[in-house]
């Protein structure tokens, strides 16, 4: 047997897990799942809100927390969004009355995470495309609006409770050591509901309007909302003793989670934001049409039909075979996929730069992030270069895009990573510390300005590692 190192260097070798023979046991563990009702259960509509209080003396598995609810579109041929989390414009987490996490533009953030491989949507309860003629619930024809019954406590849809609970570590939290945890959900505007023509029955009618004819905006309602809460307990009190010992020796229990700050603006060559985060990890810019410009028929806040994802085989007519024009025949494209207008993220370029020969012939606008004047990246990056830069920043091998035009038209973002890639999984705080500086963050158009728009909505998403400090007497402190 040959060794690569001298015996003196091998005296206390630690073998990797793949070569170790061992079993860890956790005795006296019991699990359960509870249904937590909201503080109200009336029918709610756009811009209204409700809250849920989590159990106060339990070990809660935060990764299993889900909001179950029933939803329906109202009026015309309204369609629920391709991402049911987008029905909630913001999610606030208050602990003991102190706001520890406030996710604004929740639908934009959640869809961006889906687009860039950070999470996967379950098409059964979260949806992954806007329905056309057939319901993804009961497979029946949708004659008018996508209307589901509120009777018999039906709750067809289920979504996570936002980034605080999806990222907090450790993921099992002992609420006996914390004040009351309240989650507040605010509903999005009606523009999240796609509103096709009332005679829509094929691709053209679902995705466009007759000349000079725009239908009234469809609306939506939700009901039967409640939280599914998985809990556990350890009968021998060993874990409770461990937490007590940690409190005594360290003075606190420390949890980390990913927090997001959002800034929304009209983009005209530059957009500014600021941060005083202790660990700024990721900068993300994404855009939505603020006027009736391809691929939208109206501004993202207005009335829009379904938005077809570029490159997909968006054939709707029953019995039609083959591949429609403009669709790829590669894996993942021989199916239809449609987005709601507020979840369609389009690069800030003129409409003619998205289609036809001008897609290749037009020069590309170039952009940079700047942190206190220091550019990130160090060169002016074109829109197509931002795909690879963003993919690396999100630390993924592939994204939800299947073609470059889809990135330009439906899923654009410009992301820059500022921390170690493995930080989040290993509870490492390695991002940019801005607590001692008056930071200025900008996203700038730096070259080929004539080939960029100047009136689109830009949303800047700033991710940072935050720490929740739980002290004795249920005192809490948040370090963002």
E-strand ranges in 307-423 read: 307-308, 338-339, 366-371, 374-382, 414-417
Q: Give the number of other CB atoms < 10 A from CB of residue 432.
A: 17
Judging by beta carbons within 10 Å of its beta carbon (0-12, 13-18, 19+), is residue 57 exposed, middle or buried? exposed
Q: Is residue 4 situated within a structural domain?
A: no
Token representation of residue 402: 């299947």
Residues pairing with 91 in the sheet: 103, 185
Instruction: State the Cα–Cα distance between residues 161 and 441, nearest whole angstrom.
Output: 29
- The verdict on residue 12 lying in a domain is no
Task: Indicate whether 22 belongs to any domain.
Answer: no
pTM: 0.91
Return the bridge partners of 457, or none: 266, 288
Contacts of residue 227, Cβ cutoff 8 Å, sequence gap at least 6: 35, 36, 38, 52, 54, 65, 66, 67, 68, 161, 183
Rounded to 5 degrees, what are φ and ψ at 396?
A: -130, 155
Residue tagged 């940019």 (tokens): 432
**Is residue 197 within 8 Å of 215, Cβ to Cβ?**
yes
Contacts of 356 (CB under 8 A, 6+ apart): none
How far apart CA 187 and CA 50 sit, in angstroms, is 9
- 251, two tokens: 């003075």
Q: Any idea which residue has 């998985």 for tokens? A: 230
Q: What's the domain count of the chain?
A: 1
Q: Strand, coil or helix: what is 456? A: coil
Domain extent at residue 36: 28-479
By DSSP bridging, strand 157-159 and strand 29-37 are: unpaired
Q: Is the dihedral of CA 195, 198, 203, 207 positive or negative?
A: negative
Give, as one character, the DSSP assignment of residue 365. P
Structure confidence at residue 115 (pLDDT): 97
Q: Report, in angstroms and rounded to the nearest whole number, the Rg of the chain calculated over CA atoms.
A: 25
Q: Edge-to-edge strands of the sheet including 374-382? A: 270-273, 441-447, 366-371, 374-382
pLDDT tens, position by position, for the chain (480 residues)? 445 555 555 555 677 777 877 777 777 888 999 999 999 989 999 999 999 999 998 999 999 999 999 999 999 999 999 999 999 999 999 999 999 999 999 999 999 999 999 999 999 999 999 999 999 999 999 999 999 999 999 999 999 999 999 999 999 999 999 999 999 999 999 999 999 999 988 888 899 998 778 999 999 999 999 999 999 988 888 888 899 999 999 999 999 999 999 999 999 999 999 998 899 999 999 999 999 999 999 999 999 999 999 988 776 665 555 556 666 656 566 678 999 999 999 999 999 888 877 778 788 999 999 999 999 999 999 999 999 999 999 999 999 999 999 999 999 999 999 998 877 777 778 888 988 877 889 999 999 999 999 999 999 999 999 999 999 889 999 988
Residue 14 lies in a domain: no
* Paired tokens of 98: 């102190």
Q: Per the domain annotation, does 52 fall within a domain?
A: yes
Residue 17, in any domain of the structure: no
The angle formed by the CA atoms of residues 210, 214 and 218, to the nearest 5 degrees, is 130
The Cα–Cα gap between 314 and 406 comes to: 13
CATH of the domain at 125: 2.70.9.10
DSSP 8-state code for residue 180: -
Dihedral angle computed from the Cα positions of residues 110, 114, 116 and 119, in that order, rounded to the nearest 10 degrees: 100
Chain centroid offset of residue 21 CA: 39
CA distance 421 to 416: 12
**What's the CA gap between 333 and 402, in Å, rounded?**
7
- Tokens, residue 365: 């606008």
Does a structural domain hold residue 19?
A: no
pLDDT value of position 226: 97
The 8-class DSSP code of residue 363 comes to P
Q: The tokens of 320 are what?
A: 């039609």
Q: With 0-12 CB in 10 A as exposed, 13-18 as middle and 19+ as buried, what is 398?
A: exposed
**20 in any annotated domain:** no
Residue 441: phi, psi to the nearest 5? -110, 130
Question: If phi over 0 gives left and psi between -120 and 50 gives alpha, with beta otherwise, what is residue 328?
Answer: beta
């Amino acid at each position: 047997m040959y060794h690569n190192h001298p015996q003196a260097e091998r005296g206390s070798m630690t073998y990797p897990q793949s070569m170790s023979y061992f079993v860890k046991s956790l005795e006296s563990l019991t699990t359960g799942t509870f249904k937590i009702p909201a503080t109200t259960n009336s029918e709610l509509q756009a811009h209204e809100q409700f809250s849920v209080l989590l159990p106060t003396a339990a070990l809660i598995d935060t990764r299993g927390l889900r909001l179950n609810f029933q939803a329906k579109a109202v009026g015309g041929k309204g369609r629920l969004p391709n991402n049911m989390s987008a029905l909630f414009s913001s999610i606030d987490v208050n602990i003991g009355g102190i706001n520890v996490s406030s996710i604004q533009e929740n639908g934009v953030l959640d869809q961006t995470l889906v687009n860039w491989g950070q999470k996967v949507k379950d098409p059964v309860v979260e949806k992954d495309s806007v329905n056309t003629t057939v319901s993804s619930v009961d497979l029946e024809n949708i004659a008018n609006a996508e209307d589901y019954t509120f009777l018999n406590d039906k709750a067809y849809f289920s979504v996570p409770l936002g980034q605080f609970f999806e990222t907090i570590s450790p993921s099992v939290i002992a609420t006996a050591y914390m004040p009351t945890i309240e989650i507040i959900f605010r509903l999005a505007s009606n523009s999240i509901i796609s509103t096709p023509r009332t005679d829509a029955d094929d691709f053209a009618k679902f995705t466009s309007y007759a000349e000079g004819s725009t239908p009234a905006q469809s609306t939506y309602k939700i009901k039967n909302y409640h939280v599914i809460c998985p809990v556990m307990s350890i009968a021998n009190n060993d874990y409770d003793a461990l937490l007590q010992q940690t409190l005594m020796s360290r003075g606190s229990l420390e949890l980390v989670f990913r927090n997001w700050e959002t800034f929304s603006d009209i983009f005209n060559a530059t957009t500014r934001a600021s941060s005083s985060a202790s660990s700024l990890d990721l900068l993300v810019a994404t855009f939505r049409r603020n006027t009736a410009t391809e691929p939208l028929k109206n501004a993202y806040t207005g009335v829009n039909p379904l938005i077809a994802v570029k490159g997909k085989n968006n054939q709707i007519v029953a019995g039609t075979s083959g591949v429609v024009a403009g669709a790829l025949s590669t894996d993942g494209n021989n199916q239809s996929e449609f987005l709601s207008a507020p979840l369609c993220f389009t690069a800030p370029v003129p409409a003619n730069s998205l289609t036809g020969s001008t897609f290749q012939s037009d020069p590309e606008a170039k952009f940079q992030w700047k942190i206190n004047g220091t550019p990130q990246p160090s060169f002016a990056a074109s829109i197509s270069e931002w795909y690879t830069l963003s993919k690396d920043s999100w630390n993924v091998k592939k994204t939800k895009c299947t073609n470059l035009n889809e990135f330009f038209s439906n899923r654009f973002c410009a992301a820059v990573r500022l921390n170690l890639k493995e930080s989040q999984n290993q509870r490492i705080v390695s991002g940019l510390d801005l607590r001692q500086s008056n930071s200025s963050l900008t996203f700038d158009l730096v070259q080929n300005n004539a080939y960029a728009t100047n009136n689109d909505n830009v949303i800047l998403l700033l991710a940072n590692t935050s720490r929740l400090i739980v002290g004795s007497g249920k005192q809490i402190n948040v370090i963002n």
